[in-house]
Amino acid sequence: MNNYETIIIINPNLDDAACAGVTDKFTEMIGKEGKVESTEVWGRRKLAYPIQKNNEGYYVLINFSSNPEFIDELNRVYNITDEIIKHIIVKKD
């Protein structure tokens, strides 16, 4: 199992309950395939540049450990989730 961190930026047009639902969805998904070490909700922040005509985003950082094969599936699900406007997954040393 490797250690990873992922940052997702959720569409700011959603209310706080919907953003919490998206966060819970991915925390549970990661928890089934690995171990979630921490989840930090950074809240709404200004973006450095517009993404999909949005100037703000709802940021969430998740630290976790999982098998490398799961990362491709997580990336795929991020890409097909309409609520997520940007994401990144980084392997930690």
Burial 31-65 (b: 16+ CB within 10 A, else e): eeebebeeeeeeeeeeeeeeeeeeeebbbbebbbe
CATH of the domain at 58: 3.30.70.60
**Domain range holding 83?**
2-91
Is the pLDDT reported for residue 8 higher than 90?
yes
- How many angstroms separate the CA atoms of 93 and 22, rounded? 27
For the chain, how many structural domains are there in total?
Answer: 1
Which residues, listed in sequence order, are joined to residue 56 by a DSSP beta bridge? Answer: 46
pLDDT, one tens digit per residue, over 28-59 is 999 998 999 999 999 899 999 999 899 999 99
pTM: 0.88
